[in-house]
Amino acid sequence: MTFDPSLPSGQNASATSAVSKDGRPTYQQTYTIAPRTGRAVQLLKGDILTVTNPSGHQVCDFWAFRIPNVKEYMSMAHCHTALNNILPKPGDELVTNNRTAILRFLEDTSPGIHDTVIAACDAMRYQQLGAKEYHDNCTDNLRMALTAIGLSLPAIPAPFNIWMNIPVARDGAVSWEPPLSKKGDYVCFEALLDCVAVMSACPQDMTPVNGIDTQPDRLEFSVTK
């Protein structure tokens, strides 16, 4: 079977919860991303996207794709080179796989602990963790959120895992820790190009990355000019 990055392994509300037919939002309206699902939003150059963590413990897998050519997308590997760092912070420009600045990281009310190393969870990851049935996952949320606004996923980029706490030890080992963010924390990004941002309220409930003894929760976002 030929691998098609646009096809999800299962279905959830990500496929039917588009903010509009083409993903264009109503400015200043607050949108909810239900737990375990994803949504896409089309940003015009100069738009400001604010993503909020109401519970404080919910991780957001985050991507950006240039439009109309979605084969160019925000790349964490290229950001590492551009920033000389694996931890983006306010003021940084996040770049694409063509090394073009696509978003500016404007504001962060959290302690600033995020992840750019770990791949998005997918159905196989949960099988490896012991899931016996289909488990919602960020990769499928990405696929469905883009399909919902008429776009086909060209690849599965590594996400900017907002609020995800993955310490990297001196020997290179990583650990899976609860977020250090608090209720109501938010991040803001400025679109430097016309693009589509995709956000997934990570469904991970088999490691503590969404908090200890907590369940995946909702996220919120809004767009201003």
pLDDT tens profile 172-219: 999 999 999 999 999 999 999 999 999 999 999 999 999 999 999 999
Please give the mean pLDDT across all residues of the chain.
97
Cα–Cα dist 190/82, whole Å:
18
What's the pLDDT band for 3 if we cut at 50, 70, 90? confident
Cα–Cα dist 33/95, whole Å:
25
Cβ proximity of 63 and 142 under 8 Å: yes
Residue 9 has pLDDT above 90, yes or no: yes
In three-state form (DSSP H/G/I as H, E/B as E, the rest C), the secondary structure along 32-66 is EECCCCEEEEEECCCCEEEEEECCCCCCEEEEEEE
Global pTM? 0.97
Domains of the chain: which residue ranges? 13-224
Cβ proximity of 224 and 88 under 8 Å: no
Q: Is 65 exposed, middle or buried (0-12, 13-18, 19+ CB in 10 A)?
A: buried
- Note the pLDDT tens digit of each residue in 132-163: 999 999 999 999 999 999 999 989 999 999 99
Omega within 30 of 0 (cis) for the link into 68: yes
- Note the pLDDT tens digit of each residue in 52-77: 999 999 999 999 999 999 999 999 99
Nearest to 137 by CA among 65, 59, 79, 55: 59
Q: Which residues pair with 115 in a beta bridge?
A: 161
Cα–Cα dist 43/69, whole Å:
14
**SS3 for 27?**
coil
Burial of 74-104, coded b for 16+ CB within 10 Å and e otherwise, reads bbbebbbebbeeeebeeebbbbbbeeeebbb
Q: Using the 8-state DSSP alphabet, how is residue 213 labeled?
A: T
Consecutive H or E run containing 196: strand 195-201
Cα–Cα dist 175/222, whole Å:
32
